[in-house]
Structure 1
Amino acid sequence: MDGQPTAEVIEQLRDIPLYRESLAQGYFPVLDKPEIARGFPENWMTPRLAAALAAGEAEYVLSTGTNHARMQLIRPPYFLLHSYYRLWREHPDISGTWESGCRRVSLTTVLATEHVARINAARSGVPPQAVPALEDRWLDDRTCYLNLRLDPALWERDEVVRMLQEIETARRAHPRGEYHLDCSGYHLAHLVRKVGEEGLWDEFPPPASIIHAYEYTPVNVRRFLRQHFDCPLIDLFGSTELGYLYYSDRRGAYWPHLDDMSVELHPVAPGSTIFELIVSSVRNPYMPLIRYRSGDCVRTQDGTPDPSGITQFCGRQKELLHTPHGPVAQGDLDRCIGEATARVFLHQLRLAGPAEARLAYTTFDGAPLDTTESAALEHAVGELTGRHCRLEHRAHLPIGPSGKYAWLAGAA
């Protein structure tokens, strides 16, 4: 019925002002972020929510703002963490590392580290430290955060040594000397490169399981990590406001984790096989989102809008590149690069006018692509984008202010 909520879900929405018009009309349109923010928090306030806020069972938070404008939310405390822990506990490939009590060390954006430090400072009633110590970076008794720098490409030897020592501290707390590594794929790849450059492999204890869950992980980064770690590498997909929706197995296939949720796929343009994700969720009882446009794009196994057939989370709707052949997503360019060469690490497509593009890139070994690889990649990217493409090898591509990399720069 075009994604409309069930009678059971509707009963959970009756008191929420935001949904009054939809309830009266008997039809729920797609919900966009501006509608969620308009009139906040009164548009969500119910007697139940007011009581939960007063009792500390619900709290105001901000979304991270790394993929869209920061959005105010109301949710149970540790909503996202509990979603992560549940998935880790139930995952068929890594549930053993949960059950055995592995500590989780998180290597991701410095914004995430700073967030944890602020939470702990507020609990203690003291100002957060400019450089938080390890004890200030434990989110709970199971999870600590490592990164203290915006751009991981600029980590220096003493920072790498500190992070390896903190990993070792977490590892030693386990009876079998195991730990769970939670990361951005990019950040872990940077750490691996730095460890190799500095001759520190003997100081890097291998993790028992790895989850990358913070942003799109490119094909070549996945390859690179698999070459260095002999343990399950699991991809999670989710968001601050929804929790986690899908997970990969150790072979790379995606599986739904949609308790209290349903998903629709809508083509981003007529005839396109790129779909945007529309999610209905009552997992957060204080802010149920019905037919919510998450802004995320996917591709499916057979090009049909079947949520059970998702094979790739391919980027953000607002970052699609419009070409003569139709929209192109981050994952499409990534696949194109990965098929041409395994050596490219970071890349950014920079648009120049209506028909030109430059692909700035770094490599894992620091050396530029050879003439044959360059020509093949320029041709492939040109075919994909409908633009004349020129490669630019760089020693360094800076990270964005959110601690994430932009794949596309310049106006389409």
Structure 2
Amino acid sequence: MSRQPTPEEIEEIRGIPLYQPSLAQGYFPVLEKPVIAEGFPENWMTPALAAALDSGDAEFVLSTGTNHARMQIIRPPYFLLHSYYRLWSEHPDIAETWEAGCPRVSLTTVMATEHVARVNARKRGGEPAATPALDDRRLDARTVYLNLSLDPALWDRAEVGRMIEEIRSVQASHPSGRYHLDCSTSHLAHLVRKAADWGLWADFPRPASIIHAYEYTPATVRRFLRARFDCPIVDLFGSTELGYLYYSDAEGAYHPYLDRMSVELLETVPDSGLYSLIVTSLRNPYMPLIRYRSGDVVRTLDGGPDPARISRFTGREKELLPTPHGPLSQGDLDEAVAAAAPGVFQHQLRLYEGERAELAYTTFTGEPLDGAAERVLAEAAGSLTGRPCRAAHRDHIPIGRSGKYAWLAAHS
């Protein structure tokens, strides 16, 4: 049974043009992204929103977009950052590092760095430098961005040395020499591996806490980082338009963080145990979302639809792969890979004509798996996909234009 908005929620959205048909019929269907985009922004425009846009209390932005089209939205300035800071300040395992005033170093996509550099240059009335200095990559008094290249697998020794030195300078700015590391886990794993390979790991300042909140983290990468950092490592789940909805504790279990929000789970296919995330949120006052399909899929501890029992965020709904056994998500394949071959760093399922598939993979050591281990990996992928599958070691799996990795790719 669908969750319909409460009377209080209806009062919040009564004047918004988008919701007038639903208000008239007394039923709110699932809100899809194309419906939001159609007629935007007039379909959201109210006198209050127009005044907020004029005053600067609201702004137009684009959703981050991973491997799909980006969506234009309206939100308060720094909406996602404020959501992040609030969660950091209240998280039971890492609130202490917020209270201690730890500076935040962010290691994520180069697009995020470029955005900060553009904003800072605009404030000065100029254009960003081709290679922005550290101060040009400062988001606010607390946060600086490190990455200057699209593909972290291609960082050279000089680039790795620069980032480590920049972390050291940030660390030195804190009275107790502590800092908080915000990252894409794939970027951090690349940095750790390269620092170790080039004898720089001893110079890598250890953070007081780590948050990753930018993309799906493979289980093997999570294990790799937990083995190398003796501090809480927390995952945040959210989006540009929603803020953060769930956080993990230091042991990896997820907890809801649903201030002015509610969640329902709709099964993608009957009896699959794989659920679409449907969110009602009043947190963004300029685009309150009623029964919004976020595009994410999840699994729960018991296979049921209770959003308080989410155990894994397993990827994007648009990327589900139809198989004879039902839809396959990124997280389902990842779980099988991690069980079959713990030494795999990154992997990508490549589909070919004739229902063939290849699981391209890299390893943490850079060496291929032995023949027996590679066969086990191929069999695990083949069993899940229902396709003949081979496992193939690669020296490099290119990152996407978004600065994030695609787990699924079609090849001719």
TM-score range, shorter chain: over 0.9
SS at 1:321's partner residue? coil
CA–CA separation in structure 2 for the residues paired with 1:131 and 1:32: 39
The aligned residue for residue 180 of structure 2 is 180
The aligned residue for residue 238 of structure 1 is 238
Residues 131 and 364 of structure 1: CA distance in aligned 2, closer, same or farther (over 3 Å): same
**How far off its partner does 1:247 sit?**
0.4
The aligned residue for residue 317 of structure 2 is 317
SS at 1:122's partner residue? helix
**How far off its partner does 1:71 sit?**
1.1
The aligned residue for residue 60 of structure 1 is 60
The aligned residue for residue 18 of structure 1 is 18
> Structure 1, residues 67-109: CA drift from partner, whole Å, max 9, x if none?
4311111110100000000000000000000000001100000
CA–CA separation in structure 2 for the residues paired with 1:96 and 1:76: 27
Contact 2:105–2:179, Cα closer than 8 Å, also in 1? yes
SS at 2:13's partner residue? coil
Paired letter, 1:373: A
The aligned residue for residue 136 of structure 2 is 136
SS at 2:168's partner residue? helix
The aligned residue for residue 28 of structure 1 is 28
> Structure 1, residues 1-24: CA drift from partner, whole Å, max 9, x if none?
621111001001011111111111
The aligned residue for residue 210 of structure 1 is 210
SS at 2:35's partner residue? helix
The aligned residue for residue 221 of structure 1 is 221
CA–CA separation in structure 1 for the residues paired with 2:377 and 2:62: 40
CA–CA separation in structure 2 for the residues paired with 1:107 and 1:176: 22
The aligned residue for residue 4 of structure 1 is 4
Q: Which moved more, 1:187-196 or 1:378-387?
A: 378-387
Contact 2:149–2:155, Cα closer than 8 Å, also in 1? yes
Paired letter, 2:325: H
Q: Which moved more, 1:191-200 or 1:345-354?
A: 345-354
Paired letter, 1:376: V
The alignment status of 1:334 with 2:334, answered yes or no, reads: yes
The alignment status of 1:279 with 2:279, answered yes or no, reads: yes
SS at 1:247's partner residue? strand
CA–CA separation in structure 2 for the residues paired with 1:157 and 1:349: 30
Paired letter, 2:302: D
**How far off its partner does 1:202 sit?**
2.2
The aligned residue for residue 382 of structure 2 is 382
CA–CA separation in structure 2 for the residues paired with 1:386 and 1:141: 52
The aligned residue for residue 299 of structure 1 is 299
The aligned residue for residue 289 of structure 1 is 289
CA–CA separation in structure 1 for the residues paired with 2:2 and 2:67: 27
Q: Which moved more, 1:66-75 or 1:106-115?
A: 66-75
Paired letter, 1:387: R
Paired letter, 1:229: F
SS at 2:327's partner residue? strand
Paired letter, 2:214: Y
**How far off its partner does 1:332 sit?**
0.5
CA–CA separation in structure 2 for the residues paired with 1:132 and 1:362: 31
The aligned residue for residue 392 of structure 1 is 392
**How far off its partner does 1:189 sit?**
0.2
> Structure 1, residues 26-57: CA drift from partner, whole Å, max 9, x if none?
11111111111111111111111111111111
CA–CA separation in structure 2 for the residues paired with 1:368 and 1:66: 28
> Structure 1, residues 234-279: CA drift from partner, whole Å, max 9, x if none?
0110001100000000000000000010001111112211101000
SS at 2:162's partner residue? helix
The alignment status of 1:108 with 2:108, answered yes or no, reads: yes
SS at 2:196's partner residue? helix
CA–CA separation in structure 2 for the residues paired with 1:46 and 1:143: 34
Contact 2:208–2:231, Cα closer than 8 Å, also in 1? yes
CA–CA separation in structure 2 for the residues paired with 1:65 and 1:180: 25
Contact 2:67–2:400, Cα closer than 8 Å, also in 1? no
**How far off its partner does 1:382 sit?**
1.1
Q: Calculate the TM-score normalised by the size of structure 1.
A: 0.98
CA–CA separation in structure 1 for the residues paired with 2:201 and 2:230: 14
**How far off its partner does 1:411 sit?**
7.5
CA–CA separation in structure 2 for the residues paired with 1:334 and 1:253: 18
SS at 2:403's partner residue? coil
CA–CA separation in structure 1 for the residues paired with 2:59 and 2:149: 28
Equivalences for residues 90-101 of structure 1 within 5 A: 90-101=90-101
Paired letter, 2:17: P
Paired letter, 1:241: E
The alignment status of 1:348 with 2:336, answered yes or no, reads: no
Paired letter, 1:38: E
SS at 2:308's partner residue? helix
Q: Which runs of 5+ in 2 are unaligned?
A: none
**How far off its partner does 1:321 sit?**
0.8
Equivalences for residues 113-124 of structure 1 within 5 A: 113-124=113-124
Paired letter, 1:15: G
**How far off its partner does 1:133 sit?**
1.1
The aligned residue for residue 39 of structure 1 is 39
The aligned residue for residue 370 of structure 2 is 370
CA–CA separation in structure 2 for the residues paired with 1:391 and 1:320: 20
Contact 2:253–2:311, Cα closer than 8 Å, also in 1? yes
User: Identity of paired residues, percent?
Assistant: 69
CA–CA separation in structure 2 for the residues paired with 1:278 and 1:392: 37
CA–CA separation in structure 1 for the residues paired with 2:363 and 2:403: 20
CA–CA separation in structure 1 for the residues paired with 2:380 and 2:49: 53
> Structure 1, residues 157-202: CA drift from partner, whole Å, max 9, x if none?
1111111111111111111100000000100000001100110022
Paired letter, 2:225: L
> Structure 1, residues 92-128: CA drift from partner, whole Å, max 9, x if none?
0000000000011000000111111111112221112
Q: Which runs of 5+ in 1 are unaligned?
A: none
The aligned residue for residue 153 of structure 2 is 153
> Structure 1, residues 316-369: CA drift from partner, whole Å, max 9, x if none?
001011100100100011000100121000100011124311000000001100
Q: Calculate the TM-score normalised by the size of structure 2.
A: 0.98
